[in-house]
Amino acid sequence: MVERVSHRQFHEVDGVEDWRVVFGGATAYFSTGSFAKGVELVEAIGALADAANHHPDVDLRYGGVRVCTVTHEIDDISERDVALAQQISLAARTLGIPADPSKVQAMQVSIDALDIAKVWPFWCAAMGYVERGDDDAVDPLGFGPVVTFQQMDEPRPQRSRIHVDVSVPRDQVEQRVAAALAAGGHMVSDANAPHWWTLADAEGNEVDIAPWADDLT
């Protein structure tokens, strides 16, 4: 049976310093500097993943490779992800490819609704998404951000009912909040800090900036 590893436990393991746990799993960004170097790293990741029978999501771009690993049986981090992260980091170092944790982030869109069951199918149909769990809509190809639905107890006409959730590493979150404030935003609430901060732009459109809350346990 696959057992969950807490996010704190994950970060305490040697050999995963390149990685950060955000929405979706343990994630690393490797600055390859060229497409050819990125292909080399992806080939190495493919061999490691096949050997472990544990396959991460890999996004290859001209200047870098983003890797995200999670154990789907438990929809969370396990020892499998720890081992794979260690092996991928070692492969990247062998190829002379540095990691850049400051480029790690994940996003999702949250829609507040009075009757989630009525609006959930609409958004799935409109975006070509599928339902997951009790209140998520996900891209079956894994390209688009997750859309979540949050229960409202009463109408809230004075505030937007759609906001963006941005998950960044804990060691980056205060810098990101400060940058958003400096760029013209304002603090709506820090009552939930250090789990998340709610900010808004000049017209009141909101964003929650959050490290993964569970990494405090």
| 159-180: pLDDT as tens digits | 777 888 989 898 889 999 999 9
Confidence (pLDDT) at 214: 54
Confidence of residue 203 (pLDDT cuts 50, 70, 90): confident
The rounded distance, in Å, linking the Cα atoms of 77 and 45 is: 18
Confidence of residue 211 (pLDDT cuts 50, 70, 90): confident
Confidence (pLDDT) at 11: 93
Confidence (pLDDT) at 150: 87
Residue 106 forms beta bridges with which residues? Answer: 167
Condensed to tens digits (0 to 9), the pLDDT of residues 93-119 reads 999 999 999 999 999 999 888 888 888
Condensed to tens digits (0 to 9), the pLDDT of residues 30-84 reads 999 999 999 999 999 999 999 999 999 999 999 999 999 999 999 899 999 999 9
The 3-state secondary structure of the chain reads CCCECCHHHHHHCCCCCCCEEECCEEEEEEECCCHHHHHHHHHHHHHHHHHHCCCCEEEECCCEEEEEECECCCCECEHHHHHHHHHHHHHHHHCCCCECHHHCCEEEEEEEECCHHHHHHHHHHHHCCEEECCCEEECCCCCCCEEEEEECCCCCCCCCCEEEEEECCHHHHHHHHHHHHHCCCEEEECCCCCCCEEEECCCCCEEEEECCHHHHC
Beta-carbon contacts of 172 under 8 Å, excluding residues fewer than 6 positions away, are 101, 102, 104, 105
